[in-house]
Amino acid sequence: MGRSASGLKQHRLSLPARHEDIEKLEPGSIVFLDGIVYTAREGVYQKILGDGEKLPVDDLASLSNVNFHCSPAAAPDDRGGYNIGGVTATASFRFSKWMAEWLDLTGTKIVIGKGGMPREDYEKVLAPRGAIYLTTVGYGTGALLGRGVKAVEAVHWLDELGIAQAMWMFRVENFGPFIVDSDLTGASLFATHGDVVNQKIAALYEGLSPPALHRYGETDDRKREVM
């Protein structure tokens, strides 16, 4: 463990990640990864958990226990492999309904994406399974993260699911930076700061006139907002 130029705690993990290394990670610290990271999102989840197909990798957890929710920018090279120009994270909350079963099946311990998970997932899905969530740092970092992808070890269901939805196995080195969103207690950076924002957001609505046109999503009732 070290510290970044900004003073944040910084960790570099070898994969598959060990429990003793994961339990040292605190929300707000920075992580870089070395080893194999795999991608899986709704196309893979549906195929395996919904349609009952087998995992294409025997004993996935012994090879990788890190699931990156992303869309890679991949192009064939002249050696029969692929060049990865960037890896752009996608919003993880959309995959909440699959997470518990997926973690149980695969032994995944680190989930990477953007935007975080529903609050209850940290406490009831991730933490009880010894898993945490990492988030990408801001927008436009796909090319930066792509520098950490050193090789494509394999890709599954590419023709059937397409580039974004296929299951990619990336060999990575100094892959990051990622921010630790949640820890093994179920504490979440997103959830904590969301509470702070929500305490004051109601004040933004005080004194506003009712919506004039009543278009879809135009309301002053926060429970009915289209976000």
Q: Tell me the two tokens of residue 2.
A: 């070290």
pLDDT of residue 17: 98
Of the chain, the percentage scoring pLDDT greater than 90 comes to: 72
Query: Using CA atoms, how far apart are residues 91 and 114, in angstroms rounded to an integer?
Result: 5
With CA atoms as reference, report the closest residue to 152 among 164, 167, 141. 167
Q: What is the pLDDT of residues 52-68, one digit of tens each?
A: 999 999 999 999 999 99
pLDDT band at 171 (very low <50, low <70, confident <90, very high): very high
- C-alpha–C-alpha distance, residues 157 and 34, integer Å: 25
* φ, ψ of residue 159 in degrees (nearest 5): -65, -35
Tell the burial category of 75 from Cβ atoms under 10 Å away from its Cβ (0-12, 13-18, 19+).
Answer: exposed
Which amino acid belongs to residue 219? T
On whether the CB atoms of residues 103 and 74 are closer than 8 A, the answer is: no
Residue 87 predicted with pLDDT over 90: yes
- For residues 107 and 59, what is the distance between their CA atoms, to the nearest angstrom? 9
pLDDT tens profile 8-55: 789 999 999 999 999 999 999 999 999 999 999 999 999 999 999 999
> Residue 87: beta bridge partners?
72
Max CA-CA distance within the chain? 64
Average pLDDT, the chain: 88
* Residue 80: band (very low, low, confident or very high) from pLDDT cuts 50, 70, 90: confident
